[in-house]
Amino acid sequence: MKAHRFFFILIGIIGSICVSSIAAPSYQSTSSILAQSLGGSSSPASPPISPSQIPSASPNPSEPAKEASPAPSEGASPSVVETSGTPEVATLYSQLGEALTAKRWEDADRITYELMLEISGSKSKTQGFFDSLEWQKFPCEQFKKIDELWGKASDNELGFSAQIKVFREDAGERADDYYKKIEWKSNDGAWTVSWEYDQTAKRYKYTDGKTPNFTNPPAGHLPALLVWNRGVDYRLQKSIACDLYLTP
């Protein structure tokens, strides 16, 4: 079995779903980040890999997404509702709560990955990364619940709310600075956290020597291991769509 290496690229978040007062004038706005990645003179963060290697991806996955996945609707599809309430989901929530209470961050990171695949749907669960159509229907209620568990266990230093806070307040919406602040990149720009796809297990795992800091994770560092098709990271966009970030 030969595992292919993967990293990820942060895509900007469409300005129309953002709270208008969030971005300060001196900051690079999320809409300008998106514009750059769609063909501007510079990119907010140089893609460290070719997303075209991602299994089962679209025909031209190296192209930046022309639009971010839409905000979830009030009424999730029946399949999503059923998936969210399965015994498997209940078991994974129980395991996640136990791991977070004990501050077993590595276990919690892995369980979060499996839990979100389970909630997302059968295709995501089977292939080991989020299918774009299933992800569009991922319930905000579940996204917030997972975030709340992480926040309570870490004094709000970890979780999706912590990540969007770092992106907006500490990194000024600059993708490269964001990765450095949460320590997925070193100060010289090298990736310190990365993962690769296990073709046999149909799951992602951390690359040897590039695992997160599970001993003393900095703000926003975890959860890390979440993967979408096309190599686009939608966690921050989902955080805004689900109102996890409020202007201070």
pLDDT, tens digit, 9 for 90 and up, residues 149-203? 999 999 999 999 999 999 999 999 999 999 999 999 999 999 999 999 999 999 9
**What pLDDT digit, counting tens, does each position of 8-29 carry?**
334 333 333 333 332 222 233 3
How are beta strands 195-198 and 4-6 bridged, if at all?
antiparallel
Number of domains in the chain: 1
pLDDT of residue 150: 98
pLDDT of residue 6: 40
Q: How far is Cα 122 from Cα 137, in angstroms, rounded to an integer?
A: 13
pLDDT of residue 85: 74
Is residue 248 assigned to a domain? no
Shortest CA distance to 183 belongs to which of 155, 219, 159, 154?
219
Tokens for 244, please give them. Answer: 């996890």
* 3 state DSSP class of 51: helix
Is residue 247 assigned to a domain? no
Is residue 124 assigned to a domain? yes
CB 191 within 8 A of CB 95: no
Is residue 175 assigned to a domain? yes
Is residue 187 assigned to a domain? yes
- What residue type is 210 in one-letter code? K
Domain that holds residue 57: 4-241
How are beta strands 232-233 and 203-206 bridged, if at all?
unpaired
Give 130's strand partners. 228
Most confident of 29-38, 67-76, 80-89, 222-231: 222-231
Is residue 246 assigned to a domain? no
Tell me the pTM.
Answer: 0.70
Q: Which of 23-27, 117-121, 132-136, 203-207 has the lowest mean pLDDT?
A: 23-27
pLDDT of residue 246: 60
Of 128 and 71, which is predicted with more confidence? 128
CB 147 within 8 A of CB 159: yes
